[in-house]
Amino acid sequence: MPAFPTAAPATSTWQSEAACRELPTELFFPVGHGPRAQAQARRAKDICGSCRVRPDCLGYAMAANMQYGVFGGLAEDERRELRRRSRAGYGGGGGPLEESA
Ligand code: SF4
């Protein structure tokens, strides 16, 4: 499972349905914040956009507090913002965290 090189539980069945399962792991881990990294992140997010297990992936990344990479269509800074909003009570119903629960 390329997008989950170290922390995904081996028993996760949702990973077998991941749109990224046969793609290079590096694609989901842009380095830096320059134009090249931003383009890479956009490409990864595009793939996530068509992934049927996106809520599971995002829920996993949030629960595991993944500090790097694109998971569930969100980069690390976007997941931090989602976490901050959720803690502040702005998450609203039906968001990605709720969908993956
Ligand atoms: S949401 Fe993105 S990173 Fe997560 S499994 Fe799907 S394609 Fe991979």
State the distance from the centre of ligand 1 to the C-alpha of 43, rounded, in angstroms: 12
Q: Is 30 within a domain?
A: yes
Q: 45 is in which domain, residue-wise?
A: 16-100
Of all protein residues, the one whose alpha carbon is nearest to atom 5 of ligand 1 is 18
Tokens of 85: 């909003």
**8 ligand 1 Cβ < 6 A:** no
| Tens digits of pLDDT across the chain (101 residues) | 344 543 445 556 899 999 999 999 999 999 998 999 999 999 999 999 999 999 999 999 999 999 999 999 999 999 999 999 988 987 554 444 544 43
Ligand 1 atom with minimal separation from the 45 CA: 2
- Beta carbons of 72 and 37 less than 8 angstroms apart: no
> What is the tally of structural domains in the chain?
1
State the distance from the centre of ligand 1 to the C-alpha of 3, rounded, in angstroms: 7
Q: Is 26 within a domain?
A: yes
Whole-model pTM?
A: 0.79
Q: Is 27 within a domain?
A: yes
CA angle 52-56-62, nearest 5°?
A: 140
Q: Is 58 within a domain?
A: yes
State the distance from the centre of ligand 1 to the C-alpha of 17, rounded, in angstroms: 9
Q: Is 2 within a domain?
A: no
